[in-house]
Amino acid sequence: MTDGLKTIIYPVKDLARTKPLFSALLGVEPYADEPYYVGYKDAGQDVGLDPNGHAKGMTGPVPYWHVSDIRATLAGLVEAGAELLQDVQDVGGGKLIASVKDADGNLIGITQDPPTA
């Protein structure tokens, strides 16, 4: 079971040129602004800019499904025929991400939020 689509990551080549565009679109400044990731939160959505996305095989925006058990979900997707693109990785603060590609080449991202204290 998922908690739905709450995150979308865009692969970008030039963060300096792309940040102002997304700030204007969303009407907010980034909550995370690092050379490896820029993140925005707006209307319950997390919108990220990944300057390394193209190198990871991202060909366009990737939606991330929020799941409660990322490892079990990832194993189920691979068992069902998905191709592993990125194994589970902690991207900071205990937030986990992974991605796969389906038989048609569509990228599917999954994410698990860190445990709440």
Please write the tens of the pLDDT for every residue from 15-37: 999 999 999 999 999 999 999 99
Name the β-bridge partners of 45.
42
Tokens of 11: 């692969």
Say which amino acid occupies 80: A
pLDDT at 117 over 80: no
The domain ranges of the chain are 2-112
C-alpha span between 11 and 14 (Å, rounded): 9
**pLDDT score recorded for residue 96:** 93
Please write the tens of the pLDDT for every residue from 57-80: 888 999 999 999 999 999 999 999
**pLDDT score recorded for residue 1:** 65
Given 2.60.40.10, 2.40.37.20, 2.30.42.10, 3.10.180.10, which CATH number is that of 2-112?
A: 3.10.180.10
pLDDT band at 4 (very low <50, low <70, confident <90, very high): confident
- The beta strand positions in 12-104, using DSSP E, are 32-34, 37-42, 45-50, 62-67, 83-90, 96-101
Name the β-bridge partners of 5.
65
